[in-house]
A and B are shown apart, each in its own frame.
Chain A
Amino acid sequence: MSELKSWSRLSPWAIINYVFKSAIELLSNGFAVIPIVVTGWKAGFDSPWIPVAIAAGLLLILGYALIQWLKFRYRLSDDKLNVRSGALFTKRQELPLDKIQNVRLEQPFYYRPFGLCTLVVESAGSKEDEVELAAIAREQAQQMKQHLLRLGKGDGQEISISTDLSLDKDHEGELLVVRDAKALCLFGLYSNNLIWAAAILGPLSGTLEWSVWVDMVQHNALVEGFNHQGLILQILLATVLLLVLAVLITGVNVLATILKYYPFRLTRTASTMQRSGGVISHQQDGLPMRRVQILEASQPFIARLLGLWTVVFRQVQGQEVEKVVDKSLLTPSLKPFEVNQLIDRTFPFSETDNKLPSRYLPIHTDWLWRRLPLPFIIPILNSFSLGANPFTLTLWLGATLASVVIWLRYRRWGYRLGKEVVWQHTGVIGRNWKRIPLGKVQHVCIRQTPGQRRKHLANLQLGLASGTVSLPSIPLRHARLIAEKVLKHTRTDHSNWI
């Protein structure tokens, strides 16, 4: 790799990338201009200026892209990656390889015919610290990726597994998961939260608007005989409209999922994990294994009906594989046995703790009793001051709904102590398991209210780089046990955990 040690320039094809980037940026920021353009158009200046303005805009984008390309230099040495860039203001970046969080290979559609790739390197820090090397030949990009990730592996103990090493040679590694179009369709279906928002809130707001509010304004009408037929028709119409909307949104979501992930492949080498897929822009994410903080298996409500799970590998907060969409490395549409298989093959070093537990220890009912009365405070006060009317009734209904949610949350909240991990189970209508390795915990907090002190209960918080996990109202002795276990694991472990 000696050629890589001097400053080099990207191939001219990178200009295409810059053009698309600035065009997208311009379009997404350009909404503000739309009203001006439209009103201008309506006012009747269909003058020759508009094509001129468009041409000037295009030229500007092209020129900007050209300058960006001219100013961009990079240098990859044994232990760091240097980049000089910036059209107007020069920016110098130096990324030490052991600080690199993950490396992504993207292949947008316009690079596919030429076998070119864009290499995106993310390091600790903010979005601005991301480095993008556009238009690199696929072979070279793979090579660079290997180089970038191999030095990032840290203490190097993982690499000693010989079987993985042999597989490492062909860049691919062990194949963990492949998902076909059908599985991705199902994922698009069950991961779609908008349907639920529409399905639940829609009719609710519909009834609120058409019945309750109308009643409140003209409450005499209710007594005198309201036009019921019209009301029912209106509600029916609203429901149908919402259903159509929900189906539409689902369709779009399924399509987007396919475009983004198909054909989904998750592979693993000795020290890194890779995901690839994407129709329009083929994308390949690489993540050093030790960066994985928490493994999270979740199941939204529809996924429960289908018996499927999504597995997410959580990283250090703010440094996820794709910050924009706030999704870490995720694996869609897994059957329960596939989840266990995946955990087992992802963490082959731990012999236990590699199965989703079948049961969990519940949190104490104390948690429930402290929260259950809260939603009813406002309706009770209201009933006393205003008496029974449709508004108070709605408040009671809302409070009942809230208490049901609280009860469900209580029922699903639990934990399980494994040998070297803690499992946390949460959920309301969906469910979620978190596998928390003790060695990744950064701080522990035991918190007690006076009531909990009397009942020997405590809230336990485990602070990780991927976020805080809390177990409320668990027996004090369990809280102490987990806290002590965590401290025992971490106190002498000086290896890099992020």
Chain B
Amino acid sequence: MSCRYAQSRRQLPPSQWTPLDRQPLTFVGDAYVTMVSWVSSLGVLLVFSVVSALLYLRATITSPQLIMLISLMFFIGVLFIIVIHLQAKQLQYAVFPYEFMIRKGLFWRSTIAMPYTRLQHVSLEQNPVERKFKLFTLKCFSAGSGSAEIELPGLSTQVAEQLRQHLLKQASGGHEPNE
């Protein structure tokens, strides 16, 4: 019995470890995707209408050309919104015993890991749009560069505050994390 138990606790050789870029993480959530989609849609709509109006009023082109141009623009705009939407869906994060990790990107995928021991400062930020959607952006800073090494948008109020508390505690601690 104990032998079998020990068997199940046998250490895995490095070749069988789950690599950093394959670790399963948590998706940020639907609220963030909704917000990003709204913002990108509004932005595209604005640009689309302004450019269309200008073309209609100013440009000296025939109407078939105008229609073709506008429909091309519409197509690119929709494509843009879809890409932004899919990209937002890819944002993931995870709290591990020793490090904080995020993964992002649709085509260019990156996984960023930051050990708590190298964390200097954590901040929660909220821009007007985020305030509307009751979402927060978490920023993790280490030394040197003035910009945040990790930027995680789209967190709900409760998760954001909890996460900040946890990260700050881990960063200041010289103690072993609970496992």
Contacts and interface: CB of A to CB of B under 8 A. Distances in A.
B21 A480 contact: yes
Contacts of B107: 449-450
Contact of B110 (A447, A453, A490, A493): A447
A451 to B, nearest CB: 10
A442 B108 contact: no
Given A316-B143, A316-B144, A487-B99, A446 B21 contact: yes
Interface of B: 14, 17, 19-21, 98-99, 105, 107-118, 142-146, 149-150, 173-174, 176
A466 B110 contact: no
A491 B145 contact: no
A443 B149 contact: yes
B117 A493 contact: yes
Contact of A484 (B20, B117, B144, B146): B20
Classify the interface of chain A: helix, strand, loop or mixed: mixed
A498 interface: yes
Interface stretch (A110-118, A354-362, A457-465): A457-465
A463 B149 contact: yes
A398 interface: no
Contacts of B174: 494
B143 A447 contact: no
Contact of A465 (B98, B143, B150): B143
A484 B118 contact: no
21 contacts: A316-B143, A316-B144, A442-B114, A443-B149, A444-B20, A446-B110, A449-B108, A453-B109, A463-B142, A463-B144, A465-B142, A483-B113, A484-B14, A484-B20, A487-B115, A490-B115, A490-B117, A491-B116, A491-B117, A492-B98, A492-B176
Given A317-B145, A465-B143, A445 B112 contact: yes
Contact of A467 (B114, B115, B144): B144
A268 B113 CA distance: 35
Nearest to A451: B107
Given A442-B114, A448-B108, A480-B21, 14 more contacts: A316-B143, A318-B146, A442-B142, A443-B115, A444-B112, A446-B21, A453-B109, A463-B145, A464-B144, A465-B142, A465-B144, A479-B21, A483-B113, A497-B118
Given A449-B107, A483-B20, A498 B113 contact: no
Question: Of B109, B113, B143, B176, which is in contact with the most chain A CB atoms at under 10 Å from its CB?
Answer: B143
Contacts of A484: 14, 17, 19-20
A-B interface, 4 closest residue pairs, ranked by CB to CB distance from nearest: A465-B144, A491-B98, A447-B110, A442-B142
Contacts of A465: 142-144
A465 B121 CA distance: 14
A498 B108 CA distance: 31
Nearest to A489: B115
B144 A442 contact: yes
A487 B142 CA distance: 15
A366 to B, nearest CB: 14
B173 to A, nearest CB: 8
A484 B17 CA distance: 10
B20 A443 contact: no
A420 B108 CA distance: 29
A450 B109 CA distance: 8
A445 B149 CA distance: 10
Contact of B115 (A450, A476, A491, A498): A491
A493 B116 CA distance: 10
B108 A447 contact: yes
Nearest to A458: B21
